[in-house]
Structure 1
Amino acid sequence: MEKLLTLSIATFLLTAGCAENVQPTFSKSSEQTQPQQSASSVESLDILAENLNVPWSIVKQGETFYLTERSGSIAKVVNGKVERQRVILEKEVSTASEAGLLGFVLAPDFSTSNMAYAYYTYEDSEGQFNRIVTLQLANNVWQEKALLLDRIPSGTYHHGGRLKIGPDGKLYATAGDASQREIAQNLQSLGGKILRMNLDGSIPDDNPFPNSYVYSYGHRNPQGITWSPDGTMYASEHGNSRNDEVNIIDAGQNYGWPFIEGKEQREGLLAPLFTSGNQHTWAPSGIAYANNKLYVAALRGNAVLEFDVAANTYRELVTDLGRIRDVFIEDGYLYFISNNLDGRGTGQQNDDKLYRLPLVNE
């Protein structure tokens, strides 16, 4: 088995600048149910942007990145230069814990329409909620144009927030249980669910529950969704302190929260593909798929995790960079963002950052 490189980056981070080459730390695989996989030998990662303001989602169009920042702005990154774009919303962005401007995805026709979709938390006289809206970019300012879905439950914690357009052309959103665990099992509530809608905000005719946005339920706080080339859908989900999960998502299925978590099983409830178990925590957020592997951003785990779906194993691919919020893969590169300034991490010099790492196809 090829040895895994273990290279400290601590001294490099003290002097690294935008697009400067640094050396990541690679850790040994953690066994799931099979022997350890062979380790990739990846030599370097680049810092593409620094001094970000708690970024949450990564979107890339050509050579341009758009990163949502929880405070309510979008950081446009081109050739290492960060330009903070203003976002005009109908509701004021909430500053509650874990809340803010979260999920973001460009419309399929963005190059001509300048349209995108966003998920954000707000407060008004009736309470705190999440909503999904369209945004349009003009004169370097994003402005809310249409409301697609409102009153997604919010609370002290667990807002969900990830947006993705699936291979079927539908818009998917993750919604947390808003710290009200019972709503995850209530099909009349949007909380604790993965939601699915047409791009105009209407309910698809083939959703599993009639006249409902609910695609799957029994979720605690899912924060990542992705698909493999064969259409299999995966989601990452925060467990209750531990027992974090990576699930295969099937339409209409119940993923068990709060009745089961981690390795627990019960008839009619789906157990995860991977779990951190009751001894460890990942706090998984964004997730991406490439070459039969899943790459997951881990917050409390302080790592990018690599899951080998075929071998049923996982390992910490990158460590020593602190809390990781989102991942994105394109053309053989893994991009990811740190979240050390979100109030729960320890900031490193010039945090938060956007990184790029070449992936090795074994």
Structure 2
Amino acid sequence: MMNQARLVSLAAAVAVFSFLIAACDKNEAEKAGVATEAPTATSTAAVTTGVEPSPSIVPSDNPESNEPYTVLAENLNIPWVIEFDGDTVYISEREGAIVKLEGGVMERQSVQLNKSVRHRGEGGFLGLLLSPDFHTSKLAYAYHTYEEQGSLMNRIVLIKQEGEKWTEVRALLEGIPGASNHDGGRMAIGPDGMLYVTTGDAQQPQLAQDRSSLAGKILRLTLDGKVPADNPFANSYVYSYGHRNPQGLAWDDKGVLFNTEHGPSGDPGGHDEVNRIEAGGNYGWPTVYGDDNRKGMIAPLYHTGEEAIAPSGAMMDESNRLLIATLRGEALYRYDTVAGKMEKVFTGEGRLRDVKIHDGRIYVITNNTDGRGIPSNTDDRLLIINNVK
């Protein structure tokens, strides 16, 4: 138990952070009539560090709480990804910082990149993925938006933690088409040891069907940024194509890849998807969506009809059920990949951006400070969801 001095110290430590208006999915923007890009942009992060209000980490041997969730961290600023190194948590923030949560202390760390982060709409500092040897190498992969010659683009870079900051080691892949919406940004290492990365169609739907473009794709790279020899298309990073704005990546226990994806905006809207991904597969956007069929194009395993939930991060549980954090849906959903059944398992805390399972516990981050939600004075937060059956 903390002594009185420690409690006083934590209670006195307060950091105030600004909230920028940003977009999380065009589905929601067009239906709600909300602007789809922020009026200003931020460059490479230069964010102060310090102790945040009342962060804590629940020891893994604690019994499950009777409360619906446990709060681990507060006052996150447009968080995007949850990553773990043992019990240390790292969270990327879209304006260009990485939050480290360790031993009850939350520290916002700056990220120094060779090309500045362009935080505009859905773009910014998005994907973060710790290297498999991060504990010793301190290396991680990052995906971020930048601007070059007046155009928004995205890049995949290798970064290294050096004390209280991160610095770029080198770029692995640049020139991925970007826009104020539909930037993708999810990264995961597959069972085959390869790096998988989602990219959006950059608001140019035709690029999703163009295999020479990196937009609207799931890419597959070696961990040092090369094209794997067994990729489905020779000398190409493209693993699958015909995607609008893929967001989640997860594998079942047989090594089958699934993704979550935003469907079309406007009328009709909705049709958000869960897909089983095949090497070289064409998932139809913008030619088909929903129940449409076309020879040579793969229909989704599941879609939401005209309801939009804006699926984001995804994680497979031990029973091959896909946990899906949703933005517009404001819930944690669970999709049974065998039975084809979708259900809500947690609601009431607003927009959810990412979900991870760590030591048998389900972690989510809220995304109420992204300009679309209704943030409380403690948002955004990292939560452990209790008693999900």
Which range, TM-score by smaller chain?
A: 0.7 to 0.9
Amino acid at match of 1:265: N
Match of 1:256 among 281, 284, 305: 284
Structure with the bigger percentage of strand: 1
Amino acid at match of 1:223: Q
Alpha-carbon offset, residue 238 of structure 1:
0.4
1:306 and 1:324 mapped to 2: Cα distance? 13
Query: Structure 1 residue 323 and structure 2 residue 347: aligned?
Result: no
SS in structure 1 at match of 2:281? coil
Superimposed CA distance per residue, residues 152-189 of structure 1 (whole angstroms, 9 cap, x where no aligned partner): 00013100000111111111100000000000000000
Match of 2:313 among 286, 295, 305: 286
Percent identity of the aligned residues?
49
Contact 1:42 1:360 in 2 (8 A): no
Q: Which stretch shifts more, 72-81 or 189-198?
A: 72-81
Contact 2:56 2:105 in 1 (8 A): no
Where do 4+ consecutive residues of structure 1 move more than 6 Å? none
Query: Structure 1 residue 232 and structure 2 residue 256: aligned?
Result: yes
Match of 2:330 among 302, 313, 328: 302
Alpha-carbon offset, residue 17 of structure 1:
5.9
Query: Structure 1 residue 209 and structure 2 residue 233: aligned?
Result: yes
SS in structure 2 at match of 1:184? helix
1:203 and 1:359 mapped to 2: Cα distance? 42
CA RMSD for the aligned pairs?
1.8
Contact 1:66 1:76 in 2 (8 A): yes
Alpha-carbon offset, residue 268 of structure 1:
1.2
Contact 1:129 1:154 in 2 (8 A): yes
Structure 2 segments unaligned to the other structure (5+ residues): 1-52, 59-64
1:68 and 1:47 mapped to 2: Cα distance? 18
Q: In structure 1, what is the equivalent of residue 385 of structure 2?
A: 357
2:313 and 2:119 mapped to 1: Cα distance? 21
2:164 and 2:57 mapped to 1: Cα distance? 27
1:208 and 1:71 mapped to 2: Cα distance? 35
TM-score (norm 1): 0.87
Q: In structure 1, what is the equivalent of residue 180 of structure 2?
A: 156
Pairing 1:81-230 to 2, within 5 Å after superposition:
81-230=105-254
SS in structure 1 at match of 2:91? strand
* Change in 2 beyond 3 A, CA 1:318/1:116: same
Q: Which stretch shifts more, 153-162 or 352-361?
A: 352-361
Amino acid at match of 1:57: V
Contact 2:121 2:181 in 1 (8 A): yes
Q: In structure 2, what is the equivalent of residue 54 of structure 1?
A: 78
1:51 and 1:142 mapped to 2: Cα distance? 21
Q: In structure 1, what is the equivalent of residue 17 of structure 2?
A: none
SS in structure 2 at match of 1:237? strand
Amino acid at match of 1:308: D
SS in structure 2 at match of 1:183? helix
SS in structure 2 at match of 1:265? coil
* Change in 2 beyond 3 A, CA 1:344/1:53: same
1:94 and 1:189 mapped to 2: Cα distance? 21
Contact 1:67 1:75 in 2 (8 A): yes
Alpha-carbon offset, residue 310 of structure 1:
2.3
Contact 1:19 1:46 in 2 (8 A): no
2:97 and 2:55 mapped to 1: Cα distance? 20
Alpha-carbon offset, residue 311 of structure 1:
2.2
TM-score (norm 2): 0.81
* Change in 2 beyond 3 A, CA 1:344/1:73: same
Aligned residue pairs total 326
Alpha-carbon offset, residue 332 of structure 1:
1.6
SS in structure 1 at match of 2:208? helix
2:292 and 2:125 mapped to 1: Cα distance? 34
* Change in 2 beyond 3 A, CA 1:232/1:358: farther
Q: Which stretch shifts more, 117-126 or 143-152?
A: 117-126
Superimposed CA distance per residue, residues 45-85 of structure 1 (whole angstroms, 9 cap, x where no aligned partner): 11110000100011011111000000000001124431001
Alpha-carbon offset, residue 20 of structure 1:
9.9
SS in structure 2 at match of 1:270? coil
